[in-house]
């Protein structure tokens, strides 16, 4: 592994040994970076010679000798004499000068990446020992930046407004391509505790990241405060991403936010996400449907208990179905949910899985029969966020080996 870095060579002495093709290719970038280049070489190609005559570099018309690298910040060793190259790299080592070597990359302390530029962006690609591949990757990126297939936001061209982005269940790879692009283009990101929090670390320093749970709400409801923050930032001309866990329209209050924005006259777009209701069971090898086992699945919120007057769920009817029940926000009320389902006819031995922090490194799974699962969850200290899956599909967990996603 190499460690990539951008050298700021303005006014710094750089020594180039050898005035051939390698120097000719590399010198323009060194000059453009403002380096004080000394070329040591008995001969030079006509264009290198022109750089010397034009005063862009200082040319010492002689072979390399010991001491040439003593006060250099950076060196490019590219003479046609392997012995001189070896001596020069040894000297670079002594003076701790990072040194690129054209004839023997293995002996060099620095490698030159394949570089390209596109509208103020420098692209530098290192692939180890495969310069053609580096160049190909560089070309693809530069081309992508030119034609817009790679999102490279220009502040001046941004459209203010809000994108409600479903971030998926938590694994940063499980956001959509569109979600990721909008995130990369955002000025302000208002994020929940759920979802791909790792992606927030990757955002450039100028992006304002706001934790939705920490917005002070004073006399407002917490949700109103979030809506107001979205509206304010968008009105200030910012492009705002409201990053939500899973899908914005599955128990995510996405439509409330969309309505508030519409009322304030702010453009709003919704980007779907991978919902935890399906992906978290999937992460432990449970399909929410399976031929011959379950022909339906129902996603239910467990945020209020079945006997709560605010409940809009007909648990008695759900107890009568054969299909899969997926309960979100239900860990705290699992005992009441299980009792209600059994009382209305679900067999007490129906298998149940509870998956905490699915798709994340901290993922945990417990299983057990409907009659005992609440006790198991308590004993094992399973905590939110967790998805509860009830139904015969749970027996599929672990029956078929599924490989972990490469990260």
Per CB under 6 A, the segment of 112-120, 262-270, 312-320, 352-360 that binds ligand SAH is 352-360
> Based on CB atoms, which residue is closest to ligand SAH, 97 or 277?
277
Which helix H or strand E contains 271, and what residues bound it? strand 268-271
> Based on CB atoms, which residue is closest to ligand SAH, 89 or 279?
279
Residue 250, interface with ligand SAH (CB under 6 A)? yes
Per CB under 6 A, the segment of 111-119, 124-132, 219-227, 242-250 that binds ligand SAH is 242-250
Residue 358, interface with ligand SAH (CB under 6 A)? yes
Residue 108, interface with ligand SAH (CB under 6 A)? no
> Based on CB atoms, which residue is closest to ligand SAH, 328 or 390?
328
The SS3 of residue 302 is coil
Residues sharing a CB contact under 8 Å with residue 103, sequence separation 6 or more, in sequence order: 78, 82, 85
Looking at 18, 167, 246, 351, which residue binds ligand SAH (CB under 6 A)?
246
Looking at 387, 393, 394, 397, which residue binds ligand SAH (CB under 6 A)?
387
Residue 175, interface with ligand SAH (CB under 6 A)? no
What's the gap between Cα 116 and its chain centre?
23
Radius of gyration of the chain (CA): 30
Where would I find the H helices in 78-221? 82-95, 131-147, 177-185, 198-201
As given in the structure block, the two tokens for residue 265 are 């006259």
Residue 76, interface with ligand SAH (CB under 6 A)? no
Query: Which residues on neighbouring strands pair with residue 37, listed in sequence order?
Result: 14
Nearest to 80 by CA among 17, 125, 157: 17
Per the listing, tokens 């509208």 go with: 119
Spatial distance between the Cα atoms of 92 and 83, rounded to a whole number of angstroms: 14
The two beta strands, 13-17 and 324-328, are: unpaired
Residue pair 302/328 in contact by the 8 Å Cβ criterion? yes
Q: How far is the CB of 245 from ligand SAH (least distance, A)?
A: 5
> Based on CB atoms, which residue is closest to ligand SAH, 18 or 287?
287
Site for ligand SAH in 187-216 (CB under 6 A): 194
> Based on CB atoms, which residue is closest to ligand SAH, 113 or 246?
246
Residue 281, interface with ligand SAH (CB under 6 A)? no
Instruction: Determine if residue 106 is left, alpha or beta; phi over 0 gives left, psi from -120 to 50 gives alpha, anything else beta.
Output: alpha
What is the 3 state secondary structure string of 358-382? CCCCCCEEEEEECCCHHHHHHHCCC
Residue 377, interface with ligand SAH (CB under 6 A)? no
With contacts defined by CB under 6 A, how many residues of the chain interact with ligand SAH?
A: 25
Residue pair 350/390 in contact by the 8 Å Cβ criterion? yes
Spatial distance between the Cα atoms of 353 and 282, rounded to a whole number of angstroms: 11
> Based on CB atoms, which residue is closest to ligand SAH, 142 or 326?
326
Looking at 68, 187, 247, 257, which residue binds ligand SAH (CB under 6 A)?
247
Spatial distance between the Cα atoms of 240 and 189, rounded to a whole number of angstroms: 6
Residue 179, interface with ligand SAH (CB under 6 A)? no
Residue nearest to ligand SAH (CB): 246
Residue 172, interface with ligand SAH (CB under 6 A)? no
Residue 137, interface with ligand SAH (CB under 6 A)? no
Looking at 355, 365, 377, 382, which residue binds ligand SAH (CB under 6 A)?
355
Spatial distance between the Cα atoms of 184 and 263, rounded to a whole number of angstroms: 27
Per CB under 6 A, the segment of 104-112, 209-217, 244-252, 285-293 that binds ligand SAH is 244-252
Residue 252, interface with ligand SAH (CB under 6 A)? yes
Residue 278, interface with ligand SAH (CB under 6 A)? no
Residue 167, interface with ligand SAH (CB under 6 A)? no
- Residues at the site binding ligand SAH, with contacts judged by CB under 6 A: 169-170, 194, 244-247, 250-252, 275-277, 280, 328-329, 355, 357-360, 384-387
């Amino acid at each position: 592994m190499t460690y990539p870095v951008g050298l700021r060579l303005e006014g710094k002495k750089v020594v180039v040994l050898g005035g051939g093709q390698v120097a000719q290719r590399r010198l323009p970038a060194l000059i453009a970076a403002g380096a004080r280049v000394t070329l040591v070489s008995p001969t030079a190609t006509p264009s290198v010679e022109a750089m010397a005559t034009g005063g862009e570099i200082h040319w010492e018309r002689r072979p390399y000798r010991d001491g040439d690298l003593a006060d250099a910040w950076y060196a490019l060793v590219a003479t046609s004499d392997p012995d001189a190259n070896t001596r020069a790299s040894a000297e670079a080592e002594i003076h701790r000068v990072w040194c690129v070597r054209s004839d023997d990359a293995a002996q060099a302390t620095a490698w030159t990446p394949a570089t390209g530029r596109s509208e103020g962006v420098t692209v530098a690609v290192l692939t180890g020992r495969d310069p053609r591949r580096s160049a190909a990757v560089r070309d693809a990126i530069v081309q992508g930046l030119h034609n817009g297939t790679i999102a490279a936001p220009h502040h001046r061209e941004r459209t203010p407004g809000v994108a409600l982005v479903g971030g998926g269940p938590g694994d940063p790879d499980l956001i959509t391509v569109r979600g990721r692009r909008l995130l990369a283009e955002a000025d302000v990101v208002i994020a929940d505790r759920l979802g791909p929090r790792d992606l927030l670390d990757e955002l450039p320093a100028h992006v304002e990241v706001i934790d939705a749970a920490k917005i002070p709400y004073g006399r407002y409801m917490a949700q109103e405060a979030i809506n107001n923050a979205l509206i304010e930032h968008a009105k200030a001309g910012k492009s705002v991403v409201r990053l939500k866990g899973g899908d914005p329209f599955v128990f995510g209050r996405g439509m409330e936010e969309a309505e508030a924005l519409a009322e304030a006259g702010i453009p709003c777009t919704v980007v779907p996400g991978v919902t935890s209701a399906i992906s978290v069971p999937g992460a432990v090898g449970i399909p929410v449907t399976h031929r011959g086992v379950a022909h339906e699945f129902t996603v239910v919120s467990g945020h209020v208990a079945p006997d709560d007057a605010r409940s809009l769920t007909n648990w008695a009817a759900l107890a009568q179905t054969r299909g899969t029940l997926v309960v979100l926000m239900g860990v705290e009320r699992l005992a009441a949910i299980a009792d209600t389902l059994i009382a209305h006819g679900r067999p007490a031995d129906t298998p149940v899985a509870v998956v905490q922090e699915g798709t994340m490194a901290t993922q945990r799974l417990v299983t057990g029969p409907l009659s005992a699962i609440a006790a198991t969850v308590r004993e094992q200290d399973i905590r939110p966020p967790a998805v509860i899956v009830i139904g015969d599909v749970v027996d599929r967990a672990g029956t078929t080996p599924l490989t972990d996603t490469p990260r």
